[in-house]
């Protein structure tokens, strides 16, 4: 038996799929990604699905926020719309922060450099 021998049980096992968030390019990029996540979380109630019924677990949360209870499909559609609105608000600033490059030995890119780059592109720096 050589090093390339794999037991048949491991060969037959399905591959493990793992979603890993991308690495932040610099501190500005990290800060923008954190703010985008917090904006998304706070924009509407969280969608929780009841494991037994497959229905929206807390429709009253949506009723309190929007004046009426939501079905699961309505809650998921709203969550997608709000998520896209939040991402579009941050998208250009995140692109500019990424273009600033990795963190340099002098600590840059600095907030002033980022804001200047945003001003050149006529983009709200958010930070």
Q: Convert the pLDDT of each residue in 32-51 to its tens digit.
A: 999 998 998 888 888 889 88
Task: Region of 21 please: left (phi>0), alpha (psi -120 to 50) or beta.
Answer: beta
Question: Do the domain assignments include residue 5?
Answer: no
Note whether residue 6 is domain-resident.
no
Domain of 69 in residue numbering reads as 24-121
In 1-127, DSSP assigns E strands to none
Q: Is residue 10 part of a domain?
A: no
pLDDT of residue 51: 87
In a domain, 1, yes or no: no
Per-residue pLDDT at 20 exceeds 70: no
Give phi and psi for 49, each to the nearest 5: -105, 130
For the beta carbon of residue 64, count every other beta carbon within 10 angstroms. 12
Give yes or no for a contact between 109 and 32, defined as CB atoms under 8 angstroms apart.
Answer: no
Domain count within the chain = 1
Whole-model pTM: value is 0.71
**pLDDT for residue 1 is more than 60:** no
Confidence band (pLDDT; 50, 70, 90) for 4? Answer: low
Q: Are 86 and 40 in contact (CB under 8 A)?
A: yes
Instruction: Yes or no: say if 76 and 47 are a contact pair by the CB < 8 Å rule.
Output: yes
The angle that helices 72-99 and 27-43 make with each other, rounded to 10 degrees, is 160
| 104, part of any domain | yes
57-80 mean pLDDT: 90
């Amino acid at each position: 038996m050589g090093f390339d021998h794999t037991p048949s049980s491991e060969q037959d096992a399905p591959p493990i799929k793992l979603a890993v968030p991308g690495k932040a390019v610099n501190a500005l990029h990290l800060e923008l990604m954190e703010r985008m996540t917090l904006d998304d979380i706070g924009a509407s109630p969280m969608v929780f699905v009841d494991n037994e019924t497959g229905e929206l677990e807390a429709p009253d949360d949506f009723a309190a926020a929007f004046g009426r209870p939501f079905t699961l499909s309505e809650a998921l559609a709203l969550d997608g719309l709000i998520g896209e609105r939040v991402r579009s608000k941050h998208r250009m600033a995140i692109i500019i922060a990424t273009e600033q490059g990795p963190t340099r030995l002098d600590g840059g890119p600095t907030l002033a450099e980022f804001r200047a780059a945003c001003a050149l592109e006529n983009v709200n720096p958010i930070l």
